[in-house]
Amino acid sequence: MLENKSIGLVLSGGGVRGMAHIGLIKAMREHDLEANVVAGTSIGALVGALYANKNSVDDMLNFFKETPLFQYSFFTINKAGFIDTERYASIFEKFFPENTFESLEKPLYVVATDLLSGKEKVFNKGQLIKPLLASAALPPVFSPVDIDGILYSDGGIMNNFPKEYVEDKTEFIIGSNVAITVPVKKKDLSNSIRLTARVTNLMIHASNSEKLHQCDFFIEPKELEQIGVLDKKGIENAFNIGYEHGSRALEKMFSQT
C-alpha cells in the first residue's frame, strides 16, 4: 500500500497533549514508516523539528521533560506575555546546534502567526530556533517572538493543522491531531475564562476537522482531553495514549492491505 510512496506527516498544536505525536512516531518506526516531509504548528512544530532532526523517541521525550515551562527567571515585565519566550533559545541550541532548517534530515514547515499583518507565516529555510519558539508562543502566557522586526506568535491562531504544506509534495498523508474537543456540562462554562477557552477550542477544532479527515491516515485520541494543555505531569500519559492509538490504527490499516 505504501511501497515507494512519499509520506507527509502533519502535527497539530495542543500543548502537552502533543506528546501523543511522539507516541505515533514510535508506532510508525515500529512499522518501518518514515515521513519524507513534515509540517507542524506549535507543539507539533517542536516535535516535527526533533523528528526531522532524526532524534530518538527517548531524546524527544527528554527534550520536553527537561525544558521548564514556568521558570522564575524567564518571567518578564518588559514584554507582552508573562514569560519571555526567547529565553528558551539556549535550551533549544543544545538540540539544534546548527540552528538552520537546512541542517535537518527532512524538510520541515513551521507555521506561526504574524501578529502585525494578521496572517499566517510558514518558515522552511534559514534560522530554525526562532520560528520554532514563535510557533509555540501561546498568548498571553508566552511573549511574541521578534523575527526581522515582525512579532510572531502561536501558529494555532491561524492554522493549527498545516496539511497544505505537505499535500503537493507527498503521496500519502499521516495526520495527528491533539487539539481535542469533547462535550462539556453546563457547569463547565461557569466563568469567562472557561467560556473563552471553550470557544477557542471549538474554533480551532472546526478549522482542523475537515483537513484532518482528508488525510489518508490519522489519529485523534479523545482520551487526551483529560490532560491539561500546560500540565507537564501529563507527558508520559499523552505519549502512551498516542502510541497505543497509533499502534492500533496502523495494525488495522496494514491488516486491510
Catalytic site residue 42?
A: yes
Q: State the number of CA atoms in the 13 A half-sphere of 132 facing the CB.
A: 27
The β-bridge partners of 113 are: 120, 153
* Phi, psi for 214 (deg, rounded to 5): -85, -10
Compute CA 121 distance to the chain's CA centroid, rounded to the nearest angstrom. 15
84, 114, 153, 154: which one is catalytic? 154
Pairing of strands 217-219, 172-176: parallel
Asked if 215 and 11 count as a contact pair (C-beta separation under 8 A), the reply is no
Asked if 183 and 243 count as a contact pair (C-beta separation under 8 A), the reply is no
12, 42, 135, 153: which one is catalytic? 42
d(CA 113, CA 120): 5
Name the strand (E) or helix (H) holding 152: strand 150-154
d(CA 19, CA 64): 9
d(CA 72, CA 90): 16
Active-site annotation, residues: 42, 154
